[in-house]
């Protein structure tokens, strides 16, 4: 994040604008709405600025800028139209720790002015970090059409309900849920539609019901985070993340997904690394139960789908034994998502009529799978976490009848911009993985459909050629 977004209270604060043209006028108009004490310095100013000065909304000093003009300034806007002059003034501001915006010169600016949707006190600021002002403006136009005109009035009405909610509701969690119900429900809809009296009645009834209700029990939501791309989250998963008080997440759940959670939610990484490390399953179960019994809304966030090699069933069994309420939000599992992003259909009328999903840790302290069935023709086998045991998997498939030239593909960092697809056959895929430096997490797909990647690949990233079987 190159720029940290802030909303700056400039009421009665001294703001200096250097320049007297149309650009300076646009900045002055915005700053007037913020209540700033504006001084504009320029040898020549356009008539509209003269009119505003006569009306007393800003002060115009008709001369060239001098460094003494920066005394007591809280923000400077530089728009002289002369690049060298603008940068000189910017350097003076920087030396005095004065935030400065140089119009159309991102490198010289310490702050930039975003495109703004103004529904005071609700403000939406959109910035492209100076990369494309047109893009930011277009998004502002779209949001102008989407955001209700009375959203600012709604915010003020909700502020008026805070005192009553503090008197009658027990704690922060109860008050937050009360306001969430107001904002998400018919009360806010009625207010925005103009029915203030109806909204007030609903709000008071809801407050009385909330005050009389017993403390809400905790709840655990088992949520599938999908394969990595945050845009593959379901709408229900997104709602669970924004409602959660506590999130216990796997190691491989990316920051892009976690950033969608409520800012004040407690995020606890309980992921386990291959070969050890991370929280033991029993400890994870205990944490889920403890947080829920404390009356919190808990999300157990797992990569992919929690019921596909995610130990989700074991966690629900522990919750059920403890009498803790739970629900499940499925996620897009890695097999379907990574295969789709690699252009590999898991089934195909000409090549595969069945799909098997298998853990890559096969045979490690557990029963062996039916290798003969996995080696059969016209089937696709997807091995999760198959990289560490890749050579053993290949050997077992060939031993039980799979031809050595059966196509195979490894997909690393699937659905992410860093996705890589390594192609080969059963005979060559292990060598290809070594030569290409493939690292976990990686998914192994074995079957005739893997060869279709060469024709159907559509997503970016690198596709590494397979190492020849003679290598």
Q: Which of 31, 257, 296, 346 is nearest to 173 (CA)?
A: 296
Which one from 229, 243, 245, 250 is the annotated catalytic residue?
250
Look at phi and psi of residue 117 and say left if phi exceeds 0, alpha if psi is from -120 to 50, else beta. beta
Task: Provide the token pair at 367.
Answer: 């029963």
Question: At residue 454, what are phi and psi to the nearest 5 degrees?
Answer: -60, -30
Within 251-394, strands assigned E span 266-269, 297-302, 325-329, 354-359, 379-384
Active site residue 250: yes
Q: Which residues lie below 8 Å from residue 115, measured CB to CB, with a gap of 6+?
A: 125, 126, 127, 133, 136, 137, 139, 140
Q: What is the DSSP string of 46-109?
A: -HHHHHHHHHTSSEEE-S---GGGGTT-SEEEE--S-HHHHHHHHHHHHHTT--EEETT-GGG-
Which SS3 state, helix, strand or coil, does residue 375 take?
coil
Which one from 14, 236, 267, 272 is the annotated catalytic residue?
272
Calpha distance 174→48 (Å, rounded):
52
Active site residue 267: no
Which SS3 state, helix, strand or coil, does residue 424 take?
strand
Q: Token match 């949520």: residue?
A: 223
Residues noted as catalytic: 250, 272
């Amino acid at each position: 994040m190159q720029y940290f977004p802030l909303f700056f209270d400039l009421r009665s604060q001294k703001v200096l604008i250097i320049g007297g043209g149309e650009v300076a006028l646009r900045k002055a108009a915005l700053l007037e709405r913020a209540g700033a004490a504006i001084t504009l310095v320029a040898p020549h100013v356009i008539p509209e600025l003269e009119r505003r000065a006569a009306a007393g909304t800003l002060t115009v000093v008709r001369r060239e800028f001098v460094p003494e003009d920066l005394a007591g300034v809280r923000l400077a806007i530089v728009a002289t139209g002369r690049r060298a002059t603008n940068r000189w003034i910017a350097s003076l501001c920087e030396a005095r720790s004065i935030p400065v915006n140089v119009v159309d010169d991102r490198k010289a600016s310490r702050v930039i002015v975003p495109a703004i949707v103004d529904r005071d006190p609700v403000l939406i600021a959109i910035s492209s970090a100076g990369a494309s002002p047109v893009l930011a403006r277009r998004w502002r136009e779209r949001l102008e059409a989407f955001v209700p005109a009375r959203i600012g009035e709604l915010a003020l009405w909700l502020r008026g309900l805070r005192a009553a909610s503090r008197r009658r509701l027990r704690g922060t969690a109860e008050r937050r849920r009360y306001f969430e119900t107001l904002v998400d429900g018919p009360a806010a809809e009625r207010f925005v539609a103009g029915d203030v009296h109806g909204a007030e009645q609903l709000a008071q009834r809801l407050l009385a019901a909330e005050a009389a209700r017993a403390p809400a029990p905790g709840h655990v939501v088992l949520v599938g985070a999908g394969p990595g791309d945050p845009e593959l989250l379901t709408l229900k998963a997104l709602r669970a993340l924004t409602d959660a008080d506590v999130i216990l997440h796997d190691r491989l759940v990316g920051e892009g997904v976690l950033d969608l959670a409520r800012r004040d939610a407690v995020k606890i990484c309980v992921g386990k690394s291959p070969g050890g490390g991370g929280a033991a399953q029993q400890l994870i179960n205990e944490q889920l139960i403890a947080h829920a019994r404390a009356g919190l809304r808990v999300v157990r966030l797992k990569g992919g789908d929690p019921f596909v090699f995610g130990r989700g069933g074991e966690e629900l069994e522990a919750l059920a034994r403890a009498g803790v309420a739970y629900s499940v939000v499925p996620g897009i599992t890695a097999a379907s998502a990574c295969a789709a992003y690699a252009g590999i259909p898991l089934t195909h009328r000409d090549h595969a009529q069945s799909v098997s999903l298998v853990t890559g840790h096969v045979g490690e302290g557990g029963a062996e799978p039916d290798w003969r069935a996995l080696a059969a023709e016209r089937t696709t086998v997807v091995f999760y976490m198959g990289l560490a045991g890749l050579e053993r998997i290949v050997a077992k498939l060939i031993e039980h009848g799979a031809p050595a030239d059966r196509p195979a593909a490894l997909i690393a960092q699937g659905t992410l911009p860093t996705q890589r697809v390594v192609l080969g056959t059963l005979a060559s895929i292990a060598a290809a993985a070594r030569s290409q430096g493939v690292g976990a997490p990686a998914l192994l797909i074995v079957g005739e459909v893997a060869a279709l990647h060469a024709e159907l690949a559509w997503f970016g990233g690198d596709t590494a050629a397979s190492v020849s079987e003679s290598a």
